[in-house]
Structure formats: C-alpha cells, structure tokens
Structure 1
Amino acid sequence: MVEPLQGLTNRAIIYSAPGESLETAVVSLPVQQPAEGEVLVKLYYSGVCHTDVSFCMNALPGLQVPTPKGQIGGHEGVGTVIAHGPGVTSPPIGSHVGIKYVADACLTCDNCIEGAEASCLNLKISGYLTPGTFQQYCIATARYVTPIPDNLDLAAAAPLMCGGVTVYTALRKAGLRPGDWVAIFGAGGGLGHLGIQYAKAMGGRVIALDVGSKKDFCFSQAADEFIDVTQFDVDEDVAAKIKLLSNGGVRTSLQCTSSSKAYTQAFSSLCFRGTLVCIGVPQNPLSFAPNLSAMVGQELRIISAKTGNRVDVKECLSLAARGFIKCHYQIRKMNELTNVFKDMQAGLIEGRVILDLEGV
C-alpha cells in the first residue's frame, strides 16, 4: 500500500453503473505516493475517446471481465511529473508527459518484442481496471509515460495519446505513399479529423466521408474531397463515387467508425492492392463479410490498428510539434462527462472533446 500525500485532494470521475448507463460522477480521493518505478503526474487535460464509452458500457469486445463500478476512466491524459517513486530519476520532476491507452507493458513478451505493446500479454489499460486519466493526479509507470515536446500545446497533445497515434500508426502500417488516395470514413470525428491531417502530412490525398453537416469541417482539415454518406442508399454507389473521385479506387480505406455498412463501402472502394484498415469495431463484429473473390483477384489487404507503441507516439507527436497537426477540440468540465458521452453516441461532436481537469 502507498501512503496518501498530505494536503492534496484528487478529484476524479468514476463510472457510476458500468454496463447499465453512461452516468458518471465526480468524487474526491486521497492523492497517492508513487511506489518503486512509478511517478505521480498532475494531469491538466484528458481527451475523451469512444473507447471510454465502450468501457463505461461494457461494450468493447474481448474484455475479460466487466468494467467495475467506481472505475476511473480515461486514457488520453497530459500533465506534469510532480513526484518520483523510489529508484526513479526519469522523466524529471517538472517535465510534461502523456499517459496513453496502454498504462504499462512488460516489454519482454513475444508481442512486446515485436513492437505490439498494445497487445502485451501482461497489458495494463488506462481506464479499465487500472485508474485512468479522468482525474487530477495519476500514478503512472515511469518507463511508460510519454515525453511531450516543449512547444506542443498540452490540451492539443491530449488526444494524440490515443486518437492521434492510432490513425498515424494505421496509415503507416497501410504503407501510405506520397500521392496515394485515402478514404476516411467518419472523417469529421475525433479520430477522423486527425486521420485527414496525418494522411496529408504523409503526402496522401484524402476523400473524407461523413454526414453532410461535417462537410465544411472536413475541408477545413485539408480534405481534398468530401462525400455525404447520407445521400446514398446503396453501398455500391458510395464505392462508385469514391472510385470516380480517386480515378479507380483508393490505396487505403481508413475505417474510423463502427458502422458495418461503412466497412462494406470501405472495402469496395479499394484499388488494386489496396488496404482496408480496421479501427472502429462494429457492435456485431461478424456483420462484415468481405468479398473473398475480389480480395484474391485484386490482391487486397485487411489489417487493423489498435493503437501504437512508444516509437509510434513519439513520431506522431513530432509531426504535431512541427506544426503539421492541429487537433480541433472543445474544452468541457469534469462534471459534463456524462453529457459528452451522450453527445458522442449521437454523433454530435466535431473533432475531440477535452476535459479540463482543473475545474469541476
């Protein structure tokens, strides 16, 4: 057990009834002293991700146990190191760091050795069983926090801890080359708008797909083309429009939504040796069945991206620090998280929501 730090109170957001409702509550907790190998981080901001909604509703496939009542959620936190546990010297006190989806990985199992730290056999996940970033003070593994470049706005850095590194890793794994066309489904959302920017920074040309109300927003993120998916009744018509705009199909389809219909559209929009990258998980994971004849005949690929490793997040932050990535966000207070979740479920949010952890 670790002893609480004297004179400090930690306000944290907990899930009130996981699996039953989106209700959250702000509670006061003691601030804990970091143990060996740990640091204490004073968090200023935390991004809000659709995965947080899934943890709150026990809706993420593959979870071994339900999210417990009273769990502190969140996995896109940024702040300052304010205390070291025994034996810790780095990162130095006063430095800015980020806390990611992966709270800790062993770095020695076969998956970690291959760079797949998000699939570590001894994985700890922020906001699921491990206290997450919806709190003002967070204990973190010293070797696993991410240094934040000094010239990067802290609030804007928060969503890059998951959303940014996920789309960056997805595009890198897809083998995006300068001049390639990329179709981004759900382009007006937290993942999608970052996907537009990372694709452009990597030399790609982007077709953004979303509801019509997000057209101007997607163009403001430097999308080359936009398709209002609500204007098409047949999946093949969406794919045909993409192929028309891209002169035969896109090299990469980035699936940032959980829509089974969008998965079918994304797969059908690929050119020869194109790649469908799966990020969003449909509620029914078996609802998408690819055309295997087309897959073999056109030598298509289907890959996935859960999130990135420590190298990926370093590279993704470097692009942001150099001015290529500008996260579009709105600041909300801690006691607004329940409503934020509801707005996310309704598809009402452009870009990302960031919680200001210094104000309730």
Structure 2
Amino acid sequence: MALQEEHAVNRAIQYSTPGTTETCITELPIGKPGPGEVLVRMLYSGICHTDYAACTGTLGRAPPVPAGQIGGHEGIGEVIEQGPGVTKPVIGSKVGIKWAAEVCINCDNCLMGAESECTSLKVSGFYHPGTFQQYLITSAVCATPIPEGIDLAGAAPLMCAGTTVYASLKRAHTKAGDWVLITGAGGGLGHLAIQYTKAMGGSVIAMDIGSKEAFCKELGADYFIDFKKFGTNEEVIAHVKTLVPGGVRVVLCCAGSNKAYEQAPGFLAPRGTLVCVGIPVHEGKPGERVPLFDLSSIVANELNIIGIKSGSRQEAKECLDIAAKGLVKTHYQLRPMDTLTKSFIEMEDGNVNGRIVLDLR
C-alpha cells in the first residue's frame, strides 16, 4: 500500500461534544512524518472502554478532552512513509499502535520497562491524535511489529486489551495450576484474559452477567458466576470459596464496578494478588462512592494490590507471539467508522461480547 492517491484525505472520527457519546467523521489533511516518525495507513482500531470514558468525560480524575479529539489507542496499520533518520519499521510492514504513542525511552521509568509511566508520555487518543483515523503519524520506536499470519482485525484489540491483561497476569506471577478469578469476563478485556490465563496453564472462574456464561465457557472458563444472583458480597465470596477452597491466587478486576472491587479481596487466598484494571465510572469525583476495601483483611491475609493501565513494548510483543501461535483469539464485531457513537452506547449498557473493531479501510 502506498500513498499515491491524488487528492487523498484523512477521514478521522472526532469527539464532537465531549461529555456525551456524540462523534463525527471529518476530512483532514494527511501529515508528513518528522524525524523518528512514520506515517501509518490505519486498517483497524478496537474500541476500548477507556475511549468511551474519554469521550464522555468519565475517566476518573483525568481532565476532559477537547472537542475535535481523535480517540483510539489500539490500532493496526501499514507503514507507508518514513521520517528522516528512520530505518525501522520498514515501509510495507504492519505495525500496532498502543496506549503509549510516544515515549523518551531514556527516563528511569522507561529504562525499567514502564513506558506507560514515561515522564514525556504522549497517550494515543487523549490530548494526542489516536487510532480512529485512516492516516496516523507515530513514533517509530513505539510502533509494535505485527507477526506474520495473524488476523489483523483481531490483532487490533491486542494492542490494548490483550497487552494489558497479559501484563496483568505476568506481573501477578501467574503460573501453571493457579486459579484466577476474572470480573467482567465476557467483555473486551475479560474474554482475552480467560484465554491468556489458560495459555499460561491457569484455571479460570469467570464472573459476569448470566447472558455471557456460554461465551465464557466456550473460551475455556472452568466455572462461571452470574454476580446478579447474589444479594450480598458475603454470599458471592462464600460461593467462590466452595469452588476453590481457600481462595484464588489472582483476581483480575476488568469490570469498572465499585461492587466488584469491594468483593475482590474476599476472593483471594492468603498472599494472593488483586490486579486493578477497570476504573469505575466517575471514580474519585465529588459525591461519588469509591471502592471500599476491608483493610484489616488485606493486612491479615498479606494481600498484594497492583494497578495496571497498559503494558510495555516487550509485553506487547509477548502478547502477540502467544496469539500468533493460535492460543488466543480475539472475538470481535467488525463495524464501519460511522458506528462509533452507537458502539459507545452499547458498551455503556454492558451488552457487548468481546470487542468491537472499526474498519478504517
């Protein structure tokens, strides 16, 4: 693919009225990559719940994005032009665009593999142009090489959802034989977390609404829990302990729910790990309830609590390598660019199995 079309323009999806789900498609000029940059013809972009939160102004304590923001941070495209000094990735190669659009690679955080905490971080789709567009200029260093033979549309969500859950399991030291409980297991993050856990040799308790039970079990979940069937936190915790006496080693909280976080420590075995991924809507804003942990139980059981918003460049590569072996498959709905607002509304209602992917071709 090459940028040869006369009068070619960049069709991009913008957040037209931040604070709502309203979006619009606009035509923009195609830019030229500068030093250290490449121009990518975008093919696909997954839609993450963080994109919804950025558009609607519900992303925790983060400031609202400006009108005209191009969202998206999990995209796949083809390199069509290199900026000065760039030799890799080569023209014609497929690359992925992640949460970290640009990092310095030299600060203390970057040097320890924490690029998503880079002191000079620019975030795709948040005060920086994201993946909901046909042509994107990005840092050559941050563009992730895509393995041959992988489904490109399915690989798009791996740039955020897949990398994040893989990194979560890795940093929680998940090993063969461990039990992992996943909240929001039928969603974009959760359905990949089930598969990555199984690829690591773990066992899964999937928790979500009842309509997603068959989907989760098809993906390999050993048990399924419909959280709506339990009236109190104590009841659902007791049920988990009947399935796995003593508790699970890891709870991966993909659901952005206060209640899920209130319950999570109770599911864990002593010295187990709670991985916080999903962020409750309006979390931390005045007048809103925040997750309540039983601190005495956390101390008594010596629990670990970690937060993860994205993975490193190395973790993204490892995540893709596992998928390329056929051990993980993204379940997605491919939709045209003009369906972003509709997709946001469906995500708001919690009725999406797997991931929605936009076709940017």
Instruction: Calculate the TM-score normalised by the size of structure 2.
Output: 0.96
Q: Which residue of 2 aligns with 1:254?
A: 252
Secondary structure at 1:281 match in 2 = coil
- For the pair 1:301 / 2:298, whether they are aligned, the reply is no
Query: 272, 275, 290: which one pairs with 1:274?
Result: 272
SS of the aligned residue for 1:331 comes to strand
Whether the 8 Å CA contact 2:254–2:278 is kept in 1: the answer is yes
Deviation at 1:6, TM superposition (A): 5.7
SS in 1 for 2:7: strand
Q: Is the Cα contact below 8 Å between 1:206 and 1:223 reproduced in 2?
A: yes
CA distance in 2: counterparts of 1:247 and 1:178, whole angstroms: 18
> Which residue among 312, 322, 330 is the counterpart of 2:315?
312
The residue number in structure 2 matching 1:41 is 40
Please give the residue correspondences for 1:107-126 in structure 2 after superposition, counting only pairs within 5 Å: 107-126=105-124
Does the 8 Å contact 2:48/2:161 carry over to 1? yes
1:85 alignment partner in structure 2: 83
Given candidates 106, 115, 130, the residue that maps to 1:132 is: 130
- 1:18 Cα deviation after fit: 0.8
Deviations 1:76-126 (A, max 9, x none): 110100001111111000000000011011111222122111111111000
- Mapped contact 2:261–2:292 kept (Cα < 8 A): no
Number of the residue aligned with 1:15: 15
Matches within 5 A, 1:20-31: 21-31=20-30
Gaps of 5+ in 2: none
Map 1:46-65; keep pairs closer than 5 Å: 46-63=45-62, 65=63
Q: What is the rounded CA distance, in whole Å, between the counterparts of 2:256 and 2:218 in structure 1?
A: 24
Q: Does 1:152 align with 2:155?
A: no
- The CA deviation string for residues 239-292 of structure 1, in whole angstroms up to 9 with x for no partner, is 111111112210000000111111111111101111111001123346222222
Q: Tell me how many residue pairs correspond in the alignment.
A: 353
How far does the alpha carbon of each residue in 1:269-327 deviate from its partner, in whole angstroms, 9 at most, with x for none?
A: 10111111100112334622222221122111111111101000000000000111000
Instruction: Look up the match of 2:95.
Output: 97
Match of 1:289 in 2: 292
The structural deviation recorded for 1:5 is 9.1
- After superposition, where does 1:137-286 map in structure 2 within 5 Å? 137-282=135-280, 283-285=282-284
Alignment partner of 1:81: what SS? Answer: strand
Q: Deviations over 1:190-222 (max 9, x none)?
A: 000000000110111000000000000000111
Picking from 69, 72, 76, the partner of 1:71 is: 69
Q: For residue 7 of structure 1, report the CA deviation from its aligned partner.
A: 2.8
- Aligned partner (choices 345, 349, 354) of residue 346 of structure 1: 349
The separation in 1 between residues aligned to 2:110 and 2:87, in whole angstroms, is 24
Partners of 1:205 and 1:300 in 2: CA distance:
20
The Cα RMSD (Å) is 1.3
Contact persistence 2:204–2:222 (CA under 8 A): yes
Determine the C-alpha separation between the residues in 1 that align with 2:78 and 2:186: 31
What is the CA–CA distance in structure 2 between the aligned matches of 1:278 and 1:251, rounded to whole Å? 14
- The ranges of structure 1 where at least 4 consecutive aligned residues each deviate by more than 4 angstroms after the TM superposition are none
Paired residues of 1:5 and 1:30 also in contact (CA < 8 A): no
Unaligned runs of 5+ in 1: none
Share of identical aligned residues, percent? 54
Partners of 2:77 and 2:352 lie apart in 1 by 24
CA distance in 1: counterparts of 2:187 and 2:154, whole angstroms = 15
Question: Structure 2: how far apart are the matches of 1:27 and 1:98?
Answer: 23
Indicate if the aligned counterparts of 1:5 and 1:32 stay in contact, CA closer than 8 A: no
Worse-superposed segment, 296-305 or 208-217? 296-305
Rounded Cα–Cα distance in structure 2 between residues aligned with 1:30 and 1:288: 44
Are the aligned partners of 1:5 and 1:31 in contact in 2 as well (CA < 8 Å)?
A: no
For 1:316, give the aligned amino acid: C
Give 1:151 shift.
1.3
How far apart in 2 are the matches of 1:92 and 1:7? 25
- 2:321 maps to a residue whose letter is S
